Amino acid sequence: MTRTKVAVIGAGNVGATAAQRIAERELGDVTLIDIVEGLPQGKALDLWESGPVMGHDSRLTGSNDFAAMQGSDVVVVTAGLARKPGMTRSDLLGKNAEIVRGIAESIRKHAPDAVVVTVTNPLDPMTWLTWKVTGFPHQRVVGMAGILDSARFRTFIADELKVSVREVEAMVLGGHGDTMVPLVRYATVNGVPIPDLLPAATVERLVQRTRDGGAEVVALLKTGSAYYAPAASVLVMVESILRDQKRLVPCCALVQGAYGLSDVYLGVPVVLGRGGVERVVELKLSADELKALKGSADRVVADIRELKV
């Protein structure tokens, strides 16, 4: 019987941590791929040797050859330059586009049946670029962002109210950057909307901290960017795909008509199953929420126009 296989491209902090979480959840065997000689092999070996301690039988291997992704059910793309203090995600556009373009060509060649989860920033245009270069059906190319941004919003809400994060649900849409759209009306604590629990000024402060969540981590680390929470968000997506859980989660997906938008990759609620994005879910947004979402889409479209495919 053929075992499920996940390829993680990029053996840096995000990629290696995602590989660890995927292996420990026993979602399949994991292949780490990176251009740095010895890096993916060493990290994969170290992770594999943790199996007896953590109690999982996932096999982890590393390679510098993109052909090692052959037969993958899911390919996670984390490779690229990380943000430094003062940099925006858009600053990374040109440099990471070159990296992602080459990776997408390799995916098209070596893993033509895989579902691709893009993590590289700037997330939305990189996901669009991956879709264009692979030529895959758009359902099989999806970006990780909304789950991470929603997790940050949930964390800040729980901390403010001094309640368990398990009781907090939230949904953040839009581009993965400072134009993201945290939906305050859909943020709840055990079903109670947060506007009923917190003053408007406090809610707005939490919304802004969510928008600045990635930059806050970068400023503190000084030499890197977030990876624990991004890797956890990747895990949610990979598990929903491989186990066909059909979870309703915010992801970067191709929007074709929903919310009055067309032909743009953007963070929206989707049902995520074995074939990738099964459908985009259109929520009833207020006029202000819809305006903010369209403004976020405009920013993504501007970035996409800078890319040459």
List, for residues 190-204, the tens digit of each pLDDT value: 999 999 999 999 999
Residues constituting the chain? 309
| Range of the structural domain that residue 34 is part of | 5-143
Do 136 and 173 share a domain, yes or no? no
- Tell me, yes or no, whether 95 and 233 share the same domain: no
The total of structural domains in the chain comes to: 2
What is the reported pLDDT for 39?
98
CATH code of the domain covering residue 38: 3.40.50.720
DSSP sequence for 79-130: -SPPP-TT--GGGGHHHHHHHHHHHHHHHHHH-TT-EEEE-PSSHHHHHHHH
Whether residues 58 and 119 fall in one domain:
yes
Same domain assignment for residues 210 and 81: no
Rounded CA-CA distance 105/90 in Å is 22
Regarding whether 229 and 300 lie in a shared domain, the answer is: yes
| pLDDT for 92 | 81
Pair 114, 165 in one domain: no
How many angstroms separate the CA atoms of 69 and 309, rounded?
23
What is the reported pLDDT for 82?
77
pLDDT of residue 90: 65
Whole-number pLDDT of residue 89: 59
Encode pLDDT of 33-86 as tens digits: 999 999 999 999 999 999 999 999 999 999 999 999 999 999 999 999 876 777
> What tokens were used for 63?
């390679």
CB atoms within 10 A of CB 272: 28
Together in a domain, 156 and 294? yes
Residues 217 and 281 in one domain: yes
CATH number of the CATH domain containing 236 = 3.90.110.10
Rounded Cα–Cα distance for residues 304 and 72 (Å): 28
238 and 115 assigned to the same domain: no
| Domain shared by 279 and 209, yes or no | yes
List, in order, residues 6 or more apart from 276 with CB less than 8 Å away: 115, 137, 139, 140, 141, 142, 241
Distance, in Å, from the CA atom of 170 to the CA atom of 149, rounded to the nearest integer, reads: 9
Active site residues: 176
Residue 202 shares a structural domain with residue 276: yes
* End-of-domain residue from the set 143, 168, 199: 143
Q: Take residue 260 and report the two structure tokens written for it.
A: 């009055």
Among residues 143, 161, 190, which one ends one of the domains?
Answer: 143
Q: What is the pTM of this model?
A: 0.96
Which of these three, 143, 158, 182, is where a domain ends? 143
Long-range contacts of 262-266 (CB under 8 A, 24+ apart): 264/128, 264/297, 264/300, 264/301, 264/304, 265/124, 265/125, 265/127, 265/128, 265/131, 265/143, 265/300, 265/304, 266/124, 266/173, 266/174, 266/175, 266/293, 266/296, 266/297, 266/300
Is residue 134 located within the same domain as residue 150? no
The stretches in the chain having pLDDT less than 50 are none
Beta bridge partners of 264: 255
